[in-house]
Structure 1
Amino acid sequence: MNVVVFDLETTGLSPERDGIVEIGALRVVDGEVQEHLRFESLVRPTNAAGEHLLIPWHAQRVHGISNEMIRDAPSLEEVLPEFLAFVDGSAVVAHNISFDGGFMRAHARRLGLTWAPAAEHCTVKLSRQAFPKERAHNLGVLAERLGLTFAPGGRHRSFGDVQVTAQAYLRLMERLQTPA
């Protein structure tokens, strides 16, 4: 199976009010992560009216992306069509797909585009199936549980999280004996 593992960093938690500040993605082809088939971009966020959004301090504290870092970044109007072309209708995987997929649906719709992956898979749900007695299923805990590590500075940055999510997806699928 050919899937695209992706992750977003945002200005907040609401797909309707908040913006996307970073998109990272990797392809998994025939059960192998293809590091050379990647998508990675900072994004200058805007609201529904097209006005520039600042990244609040509480979001900066999570992902470390500052307003200075995104000042000259391309807009979502530039980045999203490129990302949709990268996905190209493939199935997608994310850690907490309802969050990332919700942002993709809302922002694509706002720009007159369509978010229509072949399927959406969630590593949180897979983790709950693979480890039903465990209570925590956040990406840090899951990575530790599966013996995975984040690249230095990679945690809570889209591409760093994607690298771990892709490996976690493969290990979870193997553990659940489901072809990736």
Structure 2
Amino acid sequence: MNIVIFDLETTGLLPSQHEIIQIAAMKVTAGRWDQGEYFDSYVRPENRIPSFITKLTGITQAQVADAPSPVDVLMDFSRFVGENATLIAHNGIRFDMRFIAENCKRHGIPVRETSALDSRDFSRKIWGGKGGHGLDAVLGRVGVSSKGVKRHDARVDVRLLARAVQYMWERLTPSVTQCPVDLSVGVIPAVV
């Protein structure tokens, strides 16, 4: 099973109103969790980044001023994902996949379906209703420290998430070809 773990940073929480400002992703092929290919890019938004987002993510207006357009980054991301990959993000179905779908719609980008997973589903399957399922809670449970790194930078978060997903996946099943949670469907740009 080909897996792409990814994370977005955005200008807010509403896909219909806010914009993607960073995408990072890591490929996991044949169960090799730590040696995958990486993708990361800032995205040039049409509007200014709110100051509270800069405080949270560390992403400044200067960093995105000369970044590629949303269309270019989304198309590059889709090429990176390739065919027949399963996308995994934390809160991915409700947040990340919705931002990708909305941005494709906003910019007139044709889409294709892809299988997708929310890493919170792994956490819920292992720990049930105990202690919440936010990324920091999951990292603490699986023993992955975020001390000394800047959380809410997609490049950092995707590496932390990969380690957490690996731990949870292996705890649920030893098979890298058998998905231990139910798949969902999302969309990404259709690459011509």
* Same fold, judged at TM 0.5 (above): yes
Which ranges in structure 1 are unaligned for 5 or more consecutive residues? 46-51
Structure 2 partner of 1:64: 58
Structure 1 partner of 2:116: 120
AA in 2 matched with 1:10: T
Which ranges in structure 2 are unaligned for 5 or more consecutive residues? 177-192
In structure 2, relative to structure 1, the CA distance for the partners of 1:120 and 1:2 (3 Å cut) is: same
Q: Separation in 1 of the partners of 2:67 and 2:7?
A: 18
- Percent identical among aligned pairs is 33
Structure 1 partner of 2:161: 165
Q: Separation in 2 of the partners of 1:142 and 1:117?
A: 28
Structure 1 partner of 2:107: 111
Per-residue CA deviation, residues 64-91 of structure 1 (Å, 9 max, x unaligned), is 1111221121111221110111111311
TM-score (normalised: structure 2): 0.84
Following superposition of structure 1 onto structure 2, how do residues 126-145 of structure 1 map, counting pairs within 5 Å? 126-145=122-141
8 Å CA contact 1:26, 1:34 repeated in 2: no
Shift of 1:110: 2.2
8 Å CA contact 2:29, 2:36 repeated in 1: no
Q: Separation in 2 of the partners of 1:172 and 1:114?
A: 34
Shift of 1:108: 1.5
Alignment partner of 2:79: what SS?
Answer: helix
AA in 1 matched with 2:103: H
In the alignment of these two chains, the number of paired residues is 174
Q: Separation in 2 of the partners of 1:152 and 1:40?
A: 21
Please report the RMSD computed on the Cα atoms of aligned residues, expressed in angstroms: 1.7
Per-residue CA deviation, residues 106-150 of structure 1 (Å, 9 max, x unaligned), is 112222324435311111111111111413111111111101123
